Structure 1
Amino acid sequence: MASQNGNREEFVEGWTLAQTLGEGAYGEVKLLLNKQTGEAVAMKMVDTRKHPDASASVKKEVCIQKFLQHTHILRYFGTRRQNEIEYIFLEYAAGGELFDRIEPDIGMRANEARHFFNQLMDGVNYLHGKGVAHRDLKPENLLLDEHDNLKISDFGMATMFRIKGKERLLDKRCGTLPYVAPEILVRPYNATAADIWSCGVILVAMLSGELPWDEPTTGCAEFVKWKGDNSWMTITPWSKLETLALSLLRKLLEPDSGKRITVKEIIEHKWCKLSETVENDRETPRAKRFRPNDFMNVDKPVNLSQPVPQTVELKNVAGDDQRNDFCFSQPTLMEDLILCTQMNPTQNTQNPFHRLVKRMTRFSVTTTTDDTVKRIIDTVSTMGYTWKKTDINHITVSTIDRRKINLVFKINLIEMNNVILVDFRLSKGDGIEFKRRFIQIKKSLADIIGKEQHSW
């Protein structure tokens, strides 16, 4: 039987289950740490006994990811089965999600957006070259490593559109409404053009901090303006953007999929070549040292704790092909990643905040835990949100966003070295909407927020 180490449990010899990174309808994503080297690996767990319909979904995702090897695709290391539990081992993306770098209504610096967009196109070009369509590209599914290298993740909706040189049109309605191409809603559609459209919406979000429309249909006024005359030029997000970026977006978000720009044309566009800000891709020491055989053929039983489930609903386009599988790639729900210094004795003098995943949605406070919880509850109640206190340091907040879509986020309070850290993370809904609500709550709590914030 695997041994326990404090509050952490040993998965196999030398590898410890540090914490849960995310949950879904079919399973969890946990962080594995090597106690001696500090290596980190993400591990998906699926209980096929509890969810017998998960097997086919897992098999499909694994089948696609196992032959993808690219700098900007989240690395797949392998699978292992223990009784009725399926384990999938993936690269751990320490930099968090791309959406966390997007400031609501502002976005990010153009050079930074160009850096990430060029990496995204490099990854998409590779996928399409392999005959794979992702079909759910959005900032929440784009992860970053510790060197800010973008990693495309979550292949739960991916499919093969080209086999042995023969391409097929797709007809499954899937994706996330603000990011889906208009042709997906009428079907059938071209796989590569649909992914390119999603990349265009991602670029708008990065440059402006907002989404251009709720859905690409004739019932959406913003989309109708984009398709029609030049009146769109005077409204946001377009009025925020410079001319060269707009020229690229007009080609990316061309409503006629047959006229839409191709990946190769995007890569050669003047906006993408304005500034070479992308460093040479570097493979991290963790990835180089990781040995999949550590997990693939282990006879020892697995000792796992089961935390309180946190539901995640990964939505498809409403009303069709509802997605019920768990297949998101970490960190869809990004916990406050605090890697305890005891895990690596050689680093026990390190500031405990040093290993926190970089995210904008956290701050420290000067009040006690009880007082902070009371202030947060009063604030969200005043804002008309519903809340549930699942334990003394954990609050789940629910509301409806501007598109009448459920928005759920978690608030965790962590006490470290006499400092209380308040950490917000998205559970369900749009990332930009989540960031807007975080900013509102933070402003309401300004009087208790510490003046000296760590560089998280």
Structure 2
Amino acid sequence: MEFVDGWVFGHTLGEGAYGEVKLVINKSTGEAVAMKMVDLVKHPDARQIVRKETAIHRMLSNPNIIQYFGKRSEPNMEYIFLEYASGGELFDRIEPDVGMPVWEAQKYFKQLISAVEYLHSRGVAHRDLKPENLLLDNNDNIKVTDFGLATIYKMQGKERCLDRRCGTLPYVAPEVLKRPYHAEPADVWSCGIILVALLAGELPWDQSSAEYPEYTAWREGKYLQFTPWKKLDNSSLSFIRKILVHLPSSRLTIREIKEHHWFLNNFSEGEGQIGNAAFKFNCTRLDYEASQVKFCLSQPELPREENLNSVNINLETREGISFSQPAHMEDLLISTQVQMLQQTQPSQQNPYQRLVRRMTRFFVTTDCESTVKRLVTCFESESYTYRICDFGIVTVSTVDRRKMPLVFKANIMEMDGKILVDFRLSKGCGLEFKRRFIKIKSKLDDIILKGPSTWPIAIATQTSS
């Protein structure tokens, strides 16, 4: 595949149902773009989905929605070029089973409501709102992404009911399971579930239907016997009770949400906390020179598990890739618009010094081979299925509490003579992934490099903006 000379692949930002999202960096200017790659060989039905997704993206322009730059089509691959959100994923800021301070949750919730209000003003329903689809920019502001399930429900003042059952079950409104349904209340419901996750660090139920006792108890007002409701202050609980109403006609509208006293309240740090829920995160921004890091550029998986005694990782094969000049420069959508947007990136950063903020990573004192062996021992102790590839990536497969697939990857990379272990969710619930990461990290405590003063990185503390 041909791209403009001077542009290189960075690390993989994320994965979805149809392919990967990679960072693409211009070596000279430092411009950075997120490139979504959709494999049409594996997913021949995806071209129509991409066409619909990009058509909706072109309609949108809002500071809390990921910006679309364009797409490029090839016989076996579709490329969608999007704004690079360097702050990482929102779910990464949620402490499992704890949540975050109410003032911080309110900040993110306000931005989410602003984005959804804009979408509805354009007649667009997202239909898959969840923390995994909410990214953060360099200033810690929400960017709604992944419009693969989005649809237009209103045009020229005329609204239609929707009948496609889609979304992620714990976040899906009860009427979506029965169909047909109105778009706006369904999206509002998902926002309410996200707020619960932000405040409590867990989801209230697996599905909003009568077969699930947690949801039945919620409808009957007997919910206080279940978490997460015990973790919420009275003000937050009262607000959520008005959003997560079974009948969509009785649910708060976005206008009513914005007028509610919880939404308008000026929460101060430490206010409205239950137990030990007040805490702050320290985000790690990883700055490094091009010669000091080898990026993972592909993620092949071996057809079988590797023998523990024959782990052999070749980090030297992980070099940057540059591409030949295409027929038209605009094929990569290098424009003044993109260049202006990237001026918000820290000017002191080398274009190779960008690694998306993620709290599921740590440095270790061991070499690459020893690190992989320790990881494998952890995975085996948890009865996880794993695969090792030759590029320092271990893919782990298991199931979460709901018995749903959970897949994540441990990417081992060299930085300035030290080894970084970077975990990334591939498939499944972000909160479940974070729970597993915390457990794995505790098992590796003896080899984790302690103290930021010993790290070849700069520490950036996330604060409210």
- 1:16 matched residue in structure 2: 8
Report the AA paired with residue 243 of structure 1: N
**In structure 1, what is the equivalent of residue 419 of structure 2?**
420
Residue 256 of structure 2 corresponds to residue 272 of structure 1: no
Q: CA deviation at 1:351?
A: 9.6
CA displacement at 1:384 relative to structure 2: 1.5
Task: Please tell me the residue identity of whatever aligns with 2:224.
Answer: M
- The Cα of 1:93 is off from its aligned counterpart by 0.7
* 1:210 aligned to which of 202, 205, 209: 202
| 2:178 match | 186
Distance 1:196 1:263, change over 3 A: same
TM superposition score normalised by structure 2: 0.78
SS at match of 2:263: coil
Amino acid across the alignment from 2:251: R
Match of 1:245 among 221, 226, 236: 236
Q: Secondary structure at the match of 2:96?
A: coil
1:247 aligned partner, one-letter code: S
Q: Deviations over 1:113-172 (max 9, x none)?
A: 111100000000000111111000000000100001101100000011111211111110
Task: Find the counterpart in structure 1 of residue 189 from structure 2.
Answer: 197
1:319 matched to which residue of 2?
none
CA offsets, 1:68-99, max 9 Å, x none? 01111110112233565433211111111100
Corresponding position: 1:308 with 2:307: no
Q: Which amino acid aligns with 1:120?
A: L
> For residue 443 of structure 1, what is the amino acid of its counterpart?
S
Aligned partners of 2:348, 2:263: CA distance in 1, in Å?
43
Q: Which secondary structure does the structure 1 equivalent of 2:205 belong to? A: coil
Match of 1:226 in 2: 218
117, 129, 153: which is aligned to 1:137?
129
Q: CA deviation at 1:309?
A: 4.8
Structure 1 SS opposite 2:356: coil
1:49-448 map, 5 Å: 51-82=43-74, 85-229=77-221, 231-275=222-266, 307-309=298-300, 355-391=354-390, 393-448=392-447
Give the 3 Å change call, closer, same or farther, for CA 228–31 of structure 1 in structure 2.
Answer: same
Distance 1:27 1:407, change over 3 A: closer
Tell me what 1:31 maps to: 23
| Matching residue of 2:323 | none
The range that moved more, 32-41 or 42-51, is 42-51
Deviation at 1:50, TM superposition (A): 6.4
Q: In 2, Cα distance between the equivalents of 1:392 and 1:51?
A: 25
Matches of 2:76 and 2:187 in 1, distance apart?
35
Write the letter of the residue equivalent to 2:175: E
Where does residue 44 of structure 1 map in the other structure? 36
Supply the distance in 1 between the matched residues of 2:353 and 2:299 (Cα, whole angstroms). Answer: 27
CA-CA distance at 1:26 after TM superposition: 4.0
Q: Name the SS for the 1:380 alignment partner.
A: helix
Q: Is the 8 A contact 1:80 1:86 kept in 2?
A: yes
CA RMSD of aligned residues (A): 2.8
- Structure 1: which 5+ residue stretches go unaligned? 3-10, 278-304, 312-337, 341-346
* Contact 1:23-1:310 within 8 A present in 2 as well: no
CA distance in 2, matches of 1:82, 1:427: 25
Whether the aligned pair in 2 keeps the contact of 1:24 and 1:310 (CA below 8 Å) is no
For residues 127 and 276 of structure 1, what CA distance do their matches in structure 2 show?
27
CA spacing shift, 1:451–1:339, aligned 2, 3 Å: farther
Q: Does the CA contact (< 8 Å) of 1:23 and 1:309 recur in 2? A: no
Aligned counterparts of 1:409 and 1:243: Cα–Cα separation in 2: 36
**What percent identity do the matched residue pairs reach?**
56
What is the deviation of 1:45? 3.1
- Alpha carbons 1:339, 1:356 under 8 Å: kept: no
**1:428–1:115 Cα change, 3 Å:** same
TM-score normalised over the length of structure 1: 0.79
